[in-house]
Structure 1
Amino acid sequence: MTDLETRVVPPHAPLLRRAAPALLGYAAVRALGLVALAVWSAARGKSAHTLLTARWDSLWYTRVAELGYGYEVRLPNGDVHSNLAFFPLLPWLERLLHAVTPLSYADAGLVVSLLASLAAACGIFAVAERVYGARVGICAVLLWAVLPVGIVQSMAYSESLFTALAAWSLYAVLAGRWVSAGALAALAGLTRPVGAAVVAAVWTAGVVSFVRERSAARAQGAHEEGHAPVWRRALGMLLAPLGAAAYVLWVGHRTGKGPLGYLDVQAGWRNGFDGGYAFARFVAAKFTSIPSALAGVGLITGVALLIWLYVICVRQRQPVALLVYTGVVLALALCASSYFGSKPRLLMPAFPVLLPLARALARPRTSRSVLVTAALAVVSAVYGAFWLNGSGPP
């Protein structure tokens, strides 16, 4: 154990106290990003507040919170963009906060996202600390904060809320709190379609634990363990898919198209799962000129880096719940058939893929780790301000 861990993170301190250095560092990085965005936006005559609360998906969430479901846009090419594509938990929270405070629906969404991002940072710390120790936990949170598209964590989007629920569900799995894991997975399933990744993690970890315990009991010639722990695990697995299943079935009923009605809604947005074929064509199309070819090389490099990091996660024997969760998030993000500009933010919840980098960042002296993180934070802040004032996260 390092001196830093001994001094800052007493082994028996409450989790929130142990996570305090990570949360303070995270808040500092995000504050830097918001300051950079405000300065850049003012220089361009734009409103940073508008960029954070009233563009792209945030507008759709706000409309659901204010008016409910049923709004759609019909495009000239025949596509139908329905707000049924957006899962309900974030709009519900926006509506609740608007009802109990003077905040507008848009500002309520911003507050929910900011609070959720802190909860996500704490959850990421809890997961990383349990697997690799407190120092790696701090580094994992800071790496998540300095992602190039980290500014999305401060927008009225659902990424922060989903990551918070996913991280705490995974932590509950690692801690053997199966009912909590299932309940949080159900809430994650009410937040984004990728909630399926959390459900898969809970189910896989539950099945693996059943098999291991049964095998151990047979090897020792012992009777099965008490029914209560097994019952709680089964209940957690039962709860996990209820959120996503309830919303998907409700959409199917509302559209009159049965259980697969939600897929039709997504098809109206030209979004689906094609195994990565459309994304591969998108990347290949970049190699038509030298400037766009550089972008194509960058995309290929980024995908290769993600796959390489995931392979390292497997080799380092991360818990099966983390591996399954990360694998499903990566697959759903990279193999979606549309909205290629959204892929960076869709990959943001795959935080376990950062753990190999966090372990590497935790090895040097604290001063070196701080310098590296500070440099990355500046780059992330500048890029986030540039990105959000430009193409931004569709």
Structure 2
Amino acid sequence: MGLARLAPVPRTPSVGGRTVVQAWLASRGLVALVALVLAVREGRSVTDMVSNWDVQHFTRLAEGGYGAEPDNILMAFFPGLPALLAAGLAVGVPVAVGGVLLSLACSGIAAAALARLGGPWAAVIWLFAPTAVFTTVPYTESLFCAVAFWAWERARADRWGAAALLATAACTVRVSGLFLIGALGVMVLTAAGLSLVDRLRRGAWLLLPAAAILGFAAYLHALTGSWTAWYTAQSTGWVRQLTTPWQSFLNTVPAIVPGAYADHPWWAAVFRGEMVSMAVGLAVTVWCLSRRLWAEAAWVGVQVLAFSLSYWFFSVNRATLLWFPLWIMLARWGTRQPSGPLAAVLHRASVVLGFGLSVVALVWWCWLFFTGHWAS
């Protein structure tokens, strides 16, 4: 097909697969250990600790649908995950249990796709990402990454029927599916060696996931009479009014100052993370552009742009989990072979240090979420 691609680091399949499985077990085990320690220390059940923040909204949706709250902020969430949780409830599986099992399974599926896209070490780094706790609890990150990463892998393999079906599933889970459609469209437009007819045929497959987005909008319109019900819910519940990037940056600056939230001392640290995540997103976009990875650049860049158009930088820390080029970029850096013994030692030390800091950040983020602190 002539597509530019991020070729994986050469590994034998058995070694690479075993490495990813071991990383999945170790990372999920680490999160579980933190949860168990906190459960003993605080006298709370594990199911209670994994049910914080948005999990409560997903639970209401699974139990009562989009009419479960009078202010309609539940319409800010797409129906894919709540539908699966509702299916679990129908057979007697509680949301906390079903959601955790689903996220654990999907995190493995997503890691397998990432290993196909960028090699086993990209998957390993993703599994130990600072915000990887969200891939173990009833949130949308694992489910979305599982279908979106495989949609990308299938598109790269020129299997557009499968890619479209997977992208359609992604579009039922998060609004990020809209960005996935756009990035896959860029892949079609920038592919080398395709005739106009070939591009149209591949692009036509993207009408399927687009229909899923439109279908959800039509459903909310039928409930509310508004085509902007999703945006209204986002604005009402999470202060996501349309803002210029510069003003969004200025609105975030006061939130990163130590002591900005006297009653919530960790909020400023999380907002600092949002700033760092935005900078990382820009760096990854530039990295992709420098390598003529136009579709990957579009996938990350449009998300960074979308976050910069909100009132302030918000939920970017979690969104980094969706940026598979980031983890591939880090894997490329971590596995490169510097020339000279001193450079090799320094590089190896920096890799170990960086991975260690990521693990520490993961433990901290687990503590934030499991103890009920805001964790982005």
Q: TM-score, normalised by structure 1?
A: 0.78
Distance 1:275 1:122, change over 3 A: farther
Q: Which of 129, 142, 156 lines up with 1:174 in the alignment?
A: 156
Indicate the residue corresponding to 2:217 in structure 1: 248
- Secondary structure of residue in 2 paired with 1:24: helix
- Give the paired residue count: 352
Distance 1:38 1:392, change over 3 A: farther
Distance 1:276 1:40, change over 3 A: farther
Q: TM-score, normalised by structure 2?
A: 0.82
Indicate the structure (1 or 2) with the bigger Cα radius of gyration.
1
Q: Give the deviation of 1:140 after TM superposition.
A: 0.9
**Which digits, 9 at most, give the CA deviation of each residue in 1:244-293, with x for residues without a partner?**
11101211121012x3333233332232442435531333224766889x
Checking the alignment, whether the CA contact within 8 Å between 1:166 and 1:185 is kept in structure 2 is yes
Distance 1:341 1:65, change over 3 A: same
Indicate the residue corresponding to 1:33 in structure 2: 31
Indicate the residue corresponding to 1:271 in structure 2: 240
Distance 1:384 1:260, change over 3 A: closer
Indicate the residue corresponding to 1:261 in structure 2: 229
Give, as a single letter, the amino acid of the residue that structure 2 aligns with 1:261: A
Q: Which of 119, 125, 136 lines up with 2:115 in the alignment?
A: 125
Distance 1:273 1:354, change over 3 A: farther
Q: Does 1:60 align with 2:50?
A: no
Checking the alignment, whether the CA contact within 8 Å between 1:148 and 1:384 is kept in structure 2 is yes
Q: Which of 95, 98, 101 lines up with 1:111 in the alignment?
A: 101
Q: Which of 121, 136, 146 lines up with 1:164 in the alignment?
A: 146
CA distance in 2, matches of 1:29, 1:288: 32
Q: Mind listing any 5+ residue stretches in structure 1 that lack a counterpart?
A: 11-16, 74-79, 129-136, 215-223
Give, as a single letter, the amino acid of the residue that structure 1 aligns with 2:373: S
Indicate the residue corresponding to 2:84 in structure 1: 93
Q: Mind listing any 5+ residue stretches in structure 2 that lack a counterpart?
A: 1-8, 262-267, 338-343
CA distance in 2, matches of 1:298, 1:347: 11
Checking the alignment, whether the CA contact within 8 Å between 1:273 and 1:332 is kept in structure 2 is no
Q: CA RMSD in A?
A: 3.2
**Which digits, 9 at most, give the CA deviation of each residue in 1:156-183, with x for residues without a partner?**
0011111111111111111111111112
Distance 1:375 1:287, change over 3 A: closer
Give, as a single letter, the amino acid of the residue that structure 2 aligns with 1:282: N
Q: Which of 361, 374, 379 lines up with 2:334 in the alignment?
A: 361
Checking the alignment, whether the CA contact within 8 Å between 1:206 and 1:233 is kept in structure 2 is yes
Distance 1:277 1:48, change over 3 A: farther
Indicate the residue corresponding to 1:9 in structure 2: 13
Give, as a single letter, the amino acid of the residue that structure 1 aligns with 2:107: S
Checking the alignment, whether the CA contact within 8 Å between 1:169 and 1:185 is kept in structure 2 is yes
5 Å matches for 1:91-240? Answer: 91-100=82-91, 102-128=92-118, 137-209=119-191, 212-214=193-195, 232-240=201-209
Checking the alignment, whether the CA contact within 8 Å between 2:27 and 2:127 is kept in structure 1 is yes
Checking the alignment, whether the CA contact within 8 Å between 1:189 and 1:243 is kept in structure 2 is yes
Distance 1:116 1:333, change over 3 A: farther
Checking the alignment, whether the CA contact within 8 Å between 2:277 and 2:316 is kept in structure 1 is no
Distance 1:232 1:245, change over 3 A: same
Q: Give the deviation of 1:230 after TM superposition.
A: 6.0
Q: Give the deviation of 1:154 after TM superposition.
A: 0.5
Distance 1:356 1:96, change over 3 A: same
Checking the alignment, whether the CA contact within 8 Å between 2:160 and 2:205 is kept in structure 1 is yes
Q: Which of 309, 312, 325 lines up with 1:352 in the alignment?
A: 325
Q: Which of 312, 316, 319 lines up with 1:343 in the alignment?
A: 316
Distance 1:40 1:172, change over 3 A: same
Checking the alignment, whether the CA contact within 8 Å between 1:309 and 1:354 is kept in structure 2 is no
**Which digits, 9 at most, give the CA deviation of each residue in 1:290-315, with x for residues without a partner?**
889x9577654443333223212221
